[in-house]
Amino acid sequence: MTLLEPPRSQVNSVSFAGGLHKTVDDRREARSGRDMSVPGPPSPDGVLAGPPEVLEAGGLTPGLSDTSPDEGLIEDLAVEDKAVEQLAEGLLSHYLPDLQRSKQALQELTQNQVVLLDTLEQEISKFKECHSMLDINALFTEAKHYHAKLVNIRKEMLMLHEKTSKLKKRALKLQQKRQKEELEREQQREKEFEREKQLTAKPAKRTRAGCGKVWSSKDLSGPGLQISSQKSRSSLKMTLLASVVSCSRARLFTCFLRLGSQQASPLQLHTGASLTAKSHYEVLVLGGGSGGISMAARMKRKVGAENVAIVEPSETHFYQPIWTLVGAGAKPLSSSGRPTAKVIPSGVEWIKARVVDLNPDKNCIHTDDDKKISYKYLIIALGIQLDYEKIKGLPEGFAHPKIGSNYSVRTVEKTWKALQDFKEGNAIFTFPNTPVKCAGAPQKIMYLSEAYFRKTGKRPKANIIFNTSLGAIFGVKKYADALQKIIQERALTVNYKQNLIEVRADKQEAIFENLDKPGETQVISYEMLHVTPPMGPPDVLKTSPVADAAGWVDVDKDTLQHKRYPNVFGIGDCTNLPTSKTAAAVAAQSGILDRTISLIMKNQRPVKKYDGYTSCPLVTGYNRVILAEFNYNAEPLETFPFDQSKERLSMYLMKADMMPFLYWNLMLRGYWGGPAFLRKLFHLGKS
């Protein structure tokens, strides 16, 4: 397009306007021809033409008119359809492509806006998620957690290094000792050999066989053959044999006898499972806890050590009742454990394996090392199983600070650490909705923690909460009343029917379910949390023929003999006895079970009955204990001739010092069957 060429739109509009004017002019001429009788010359613009009479009548004044020259014309204007169609086609042909392009562009713009809005919403949601995830406090907490893990790993490595160094030194000393002993034995053998040479070098009167020398009683009693009482029996035999034989074959035979006698050694504490394990025992004990060791010691005296075996995989045996004081910092953890090899009765076979199957119909069991062991009598003492994993967030939550549990050797020291690190806030103690061992332990640590807070000046800043799934603080009213008084005096908060279901250790939150209103939960933040885990029978018992519907060993509550298998017996926490699961209960049960098995072995009916005796030393402070003792009917069965529901220092000393001594030195050796005889003595023979 040149500079003089008008735009296309302008040309079209001019042509359109020209056509419209032309049409109007044609219509005007036709109208003028119809209205005027005599046509005249065309009037100039703005001057109306008409007959003289009309002008004279004053209808119109010559000159400029106030009305439009087209007035009346447009009103009567008749539009041709063809022109309209042409006009419409022209408009459409001109503007339609642009309109279509505009419509398409508008649609694309709309679609782009929709996509942009969706993308924007997604980015906003991602931003919100990232913002919630990237919590600075959580990151710092996680970093502290991993730092603590690294510190603990370093400590464990140092401890392992120290232990390894000690073991190396000990091994070196043992090696040196053995070399010294071997040297001494070699020197002794040389001396004996020289003596034999001196004795055999003298001429001797031979027998007809030519291999022997006849000695008189005088020769045997002479100074050359005096044998001191300090010499071993094997040395005596060797000296006599060397004295009576002189041929080379006899000397060779003598050397073999000497070698065999030197290798013989006294019996060890217990025989090794890998070398001397048998496939059948008269009495087989499952479990090396308090009940298993006690019964093994008792059975050893009845049938002999070589006829008794214990199946137990653990290397260390723990006195667990003391862990309450370990968690409160009153006792070291090392005082609670001893090697299993040292507590198993001497001569009793230790089968170091785990039981995986019981077949009482065939009188045998199977272990995890694919061994089958049969028995004549079976004693089940497998204890109770801790199920931390039934609480969401555990046991991995123990890797965080501020949380511990006195029920595991791995977590008991974490309780003391959480107690020391406490500053201010909620100190929460829990009791699960399952049977537990030592049902008083969950609240013992609460009383000890309160005493520690008072001692360190933190008590005003501590809100102590005991959330229990039970409906009462204790099952025996006499002791429950005494504990309620302590709770009120020390301003402790106790919430009943509250069960711990989740721990958010990274946020220091505990979630509890209201057992009276299932599904209703409550979130409580904590500065310290002590967890008592859910517990249950060991997995191997749950599907075993010896278990009841709940998975516990189904025994008679009076005799502890199994209800369906007369040669099977149960003791301790793994049984369904309706009494509290404590070490004191195991001690009393061991005495009853000993008598029951003795009569069963004699084909007699058991007569001694277990009354459900159990004991719970309720530690209420660092120097106070309420000694609770009761029976099947939750009736007090107290040993001492005074009110045991009162806090006493003497009972604390018995708990902390006397009971461990009784456990290690009497109970595990099968000599402690509970305080029944003391109770009779103190109460003048009244049981």
Lookup: tokens for 246: 């002189």
According to the model, what pLDDT value does residue 203 have?
47
Please name the residue that has the structure tokens 């002794």.
188
Which range among 51-55, 407-411, 467-471 shows the weakest confidence by mean pLDDT?
51-55
According to the model, what pLDDT value does residue 111 have?
82
According to the model, what pLDDT value does residue 147 have?
80
Please name the residue that has the structure tokens 């429950």.
480
Lookup: tokens for 566: 């007369």
Distance CA 391, CA 215 (A): 84
Q: Map 535-599 to HEC letters.
A: EECCHHHHCCCCECCCCCECECCCCCEECCCCCEEECHHHECCCCCECHHHHHHHHHHHHHHHHH
- For residue 653, what are the CA distances in angstroms to 198, 442, 575? 68, 20, 30
Mean pLDDT along residues 395-411: 97
| Residue 475: count of CB within 10 angstroms of its CB | 15
Distance CA 309, CA 562 (A): 20
Distance CA 639, CA 649 (A): 16
Distance CA 432, CA 499 (A): 6
Mean pLDDT along residues 69-80: 53
- For residue 21, what are the CA distances in angstroms to 25, 28, 164? 6, 10, 118
SS3 641: coil
Which residues 6+ apart lie within 8 Å of 686 measured at CB? 680
| Residue 613: count of CB within 10 angstroms of its CB | 25
Paired strand residues for 339:
316
Lookup: tokens for 23: 């049409």
Q: How many residues does the chain have?
A: 687
Paired strand residues for 535:
386
pLDDT band at residue 14 using 50, 70 and 90 as cut-offs: very low
Please provide residue 243's backbone torsions phi and psi, each rounded to the nearest 5 degrees: -80, -30
pLDDT band at residue 84 using 50, 70 and 90 as cut-offs: confident
Lookup: tokens for 679: 């109770």
Higher pLDDT, 174 or 428: 428
The distance from CA 140 to its chain's CA centroid, rounded to whole angstroms, is 25
Please name the residue that has the structure tokens 């029951």.
596
Which range among 30-44, 90-104, 335-349, 413-427 shows the weakest confidence by mean pLDDT?
30-44
According to the model, what pLDDT value does residue 440 have?
96
According to the model, what pLDDT value does residue 179 have?
79
**pLDDT tens-digit map of 180-226:** 887 887 777 777 777 766 666 544 444 333 333 333 333 433 333 33
Q: Which amino acid is at 402?
A: K
According to the model, what pLDDT value does residue 133 have?
54
Which range among 80-94, 413-427, 437-451, 481-495 shows the weakest confidence by mean pLDDT?
80-94
**pLDDT tens-digit map of 575-608:** 999 999 999 999 999 999 999 999 999 999 999 9
Mean pLDDT along residues 128-132: 62
Strands 364-367 and 355-359, sheet pairing: antiparallel
- For residue 185, what are the CA distances in angstroms to 188, 239, 364, 505? 5, 16, 45, 63
Closest of 666, 529, 659 to residue 590, by C-alpha: 666
pLDDT band at residue 109 using 50, 70 and 90 as cut-offs: confident
Task: Tell me the percentage of the chain whose pLDDT exceeds 70.
Answer: 74
**pLDDT tens-digit map of 357-391:** 999 999 999 999 999 999 999 999 999 999 999 99
Mean pLDDT along residues 620-638: 97
Peptide bond into 578 cis (omega under 30): no
According to the model, what pLDDT value does residue 47 have?
40
Angle (CA) 402 403 407, round 5°: 150
Which residues 6+ apart lie within 8 Å of 560 measured at CB? 569, 570, 571, 575, 577, 589, 592, 593, 596, 610
Asked if the model's pLDDT at residue 274 lies above 50, the reply is no
Distance CA 680, CA 687 (A): 6
Question: What DSSP line would sit under 241-307, residue for residue?
Answer: HHHHB-SHHHHHHHHHHHHHHHH-----SS--HHHH--SEEEEEEE--SHHHHHHHHHHHHHH-GGG
Please provide residue 376's backbone torsions phi and psi, each rounded to the nearest 5 degrees: -100, -40
Closest of 246, 401, 407, 261 to residue 321, by C-alpha: 407
Which range among 19-33, 231-245, 266-280, 492-506 shows the weakest confidence by mean pLDDT?
231-245
According to the model, what pLDDT value does residue 415 have?
98
Which range among 9-18, 300-309, 471-480 shows the weakest confidence by mean pLDDT?
9-18
SS3 177: helix
Regarding pTM above 0.75, the answer is: no
Q: Which amino acid is at 194?
A: E
Is 616 marked active-site?
yes
Is 574 marked active-site?
no
Average pLDDT, the chain: 81
According to the model, what pLDDT value does residue 502 have?
98
Lookup: tokens for 403: 């949380």
Which residues 6+ apart lie within 8 Å of 283 measured at CB? 296, 299, 302, 303, 307, 308, 309, 375, 376, 377, 378, 379, 597
According to the model, what pLDDT value does residue 102 have?
83
Higher pLDDT, 228 or 615: 615
Asked if the model's pLDDT at residue 64 lies above 50, the reply is no
**DSSP category for residue 42:** P
Distance CA 331, CA 252 (A): 61
Task: Tell me the percentage of the chain whose pLDDT exceeds 90.
Answer: 58
| Residue 402: count of CB within 10 angstroms of its CB | 19
Please name the residue that has the structure tokens 């699960």.
432
Asked if the model's pLDDT at residue 19 lies above 90, the reply is no
Categorise residue 303: left if φ over 0, alpha if ψ from -120 to 50, beta otherwise. alpha
Q: Which amino acid is at 30?
A: A
Paired strand residues for 524:
510
CB of 70 closer than 8 Å to CB of 24: yes
The distance from CA 335 to its chain's CA centroid, rounded to whole angstroms, is 24
| Residue 620: count of CB within 10 angstroms of its CB | 24
CB of 673 closer than 8 Å to CB of 590: yes
SS3 464: strand
CB of 344 closer than 8 Å to CB of 288: yes
Please provide residue 565's backbone torsions phi and psi, each rounded to the nearest 5 degrees: -115, 105
Closest of 454, 447, 455 to residue 473, by C-alpha: 447
**DSSP category for residue 63:** S
CB of 540 closer than 8 Å to CB of 550: no
CB of 576 closer than 8 Å to CB of 548: yes
Asked if the model's pLDDT at residue 284 lies above 60, the reply is yes
According to the model, what pLDDT value does residue 108 have?
83
